[in-house]
Structure 1
Amino acid sequence: MGMAQQSMARFAACVALGVLAPHVWAADTTPQASGNLTLRKGQMADERWNTPALDGSHLKPETARVLKVEDHGTFTRELVQMQWRPLDSICLYIIKPKNVAKPPVSLFLYNYTEESDRFANVSYLERVTSQGYAIAGFVSALSGDRYKLRPMKEWFVSEMPEALACSAHDVHYIVDYLETRKDLDTNRLGMFGQGSGGAIAVLAAASDPRIKSLDLLGPWGDWKEWLEKSQVVPDAERPRYVTVEFQKKVKPLDPIDWLPKLKGRAIRMQFLGDDPNTPPAVVEALTKAAPAEAEVHRYENTVKFFPDAGGGRLFEWMAAHLKAPPVPPAKTAAR
């Protein structure tokens, strides 16, 4: 079964379970030009894909719905349905440590190849929440269940302006929702991003000062160099993405241009030498673009990285910068 068929099957299953609400296109599908996005009459989406900021976009968020709450002993997990575009319901997973009153919170966004399975992994969630902060996890545009009903020729890189801008806009609306909750301290808000999620985290944080700490693992950027050399891009498709026309579209969303705007924030960037997705020249460009106070750590390979990241140590940096409270001893002993 192909990716498109798998996504459609997952979408149908989610609708049947009530996890996703089906939306129908307007009967009149006459194209309407609006900014850089072609709209159909009756659609509510009006969004600019050339900026991570919401300026010029006119999306209409629906009321968030908490679909499920689960108790897992040391933490609770909630599934929240959110939506502000047609046919693009977002599943937000909010995982909170128990016995920590109003914990700080960090958004978690992994690479576009990741689905939401990680947020169902109890062992993983125990390691994260043992740091004393909550996480709000989701997947980016054109990823996982959000890839539903798209032609197979369309994917994260081929639709990069849409994928990057929409995901950055998603962060703004997710933070808006988190601020309405009385059980989270959004004055201490961070974001962890890996791969494409790291690039999106830079864009979102640079246009939203509410994000105070940024932890980036192998972030993408320097699009001209990345599109020419990253192994994420299939050789058969690469000629399309190195054209002046395509690179002009993604240039306004290049993290190397937005990183300098993060001066004064807590930033950590970590790179692995054996990561084929982020070429060495891109690592150099991102390092140079980062504010002087940013922490940059380079590891020869994954083996060298593990002592600093394994067993939940990867999440300690964010806990320190969010000033997360220590986990109560009784809880740790129970675990």
Structure 2
Amino acid sequence: MNMQEEEEDKKEKLDDILFSAATPGSWISCQSTCNEPFPIAPKEIPGENYIEILSKLYKTSIDRRRMFYCNGGLREMLGGTGLKMRPTRFDERYYKEKMRFELIIYMEMMNSMSIFKQMDLETKETLVKGCAVSLAMLEKYYISVKNDGLKTQKLIAPDGSYTDLSDHGAQFEEEFQKQSEPVMDKETCLKLLYDPLKLCLNELGTALEHSRMTDTEFCALFAILLFNTAADNLSDASRNAVMMARNRVMKDWFEFYAKQGKAPEEAGLLVGNTLLLLTAVRNAMAVHRENFHVIRVFNVMEYDKLIDDLAFT
């Protein structure tokens, strides 16, 4: 190995250490007790940049959602634009059709990365189980911030339905009155289910706003959350493969900024600020997990049992 190659090798190792140090908690770690040989690096497609691919596919998914959720005729499907905002129903948060469609959207994004597509089924299942709910939650708050939800105190879902967290449950008044045998009264429901969401919106939403997240950073964080080396039940070999995938995402992330003409210092700041969001995501996820536990235990509303597969209970 010549001197230049040694320097490049040292730089790669340093980059990995710095990245791990910048990541809060144990969500992503470069440490491994693996005694197995590292897996062979997946075949790379020349010119393929995962952040660029994810960003393009995410834009496509937004239009696909619009067509799926518009509930209009052919003309509206062909010519409609943007989200159509509407107040959500109390019991529609975990509708079967909605949950499965959203999961399909995420799976399409995941499979667009050849490094994920080449992983074995068990590894894919483990990674998706560990991140799907976090991704859905993160996107909901990201969409809310993009559409002034922080200012209006509205939590907005990808289908345009929103929960107004500023009106003390007024949008659900009629539904509460129609319940013949309510599981819990309105005040208890608001205290257990909606006040925590307001707290999350103000904390995670504020963090997202301060970071000035765009679709680029959302897609990068999407990939970082997916390729989590601390995911449960990964074999040592799979964990190493996931680490390689994560490092590839980091490399592509910086290269994507370079293509946009951003200086290394600016790119480093954007990456650092985005990674710091992981703490806020983790805290919000804990609140949402408690929220769902109440729904499940008290049978507050029906939900798609698929969610039991997604490490949310």
The structure with the greater share of residues assigned to helix is 2
The answer to which structure, 1 or 2, has the higher relative contact order (CA under 8 A, 6+ apart) is: 2
Q: TM-score, normalised by structure 1?
A: 0.28
The structure with the greater share of residues assigned to strand is 1
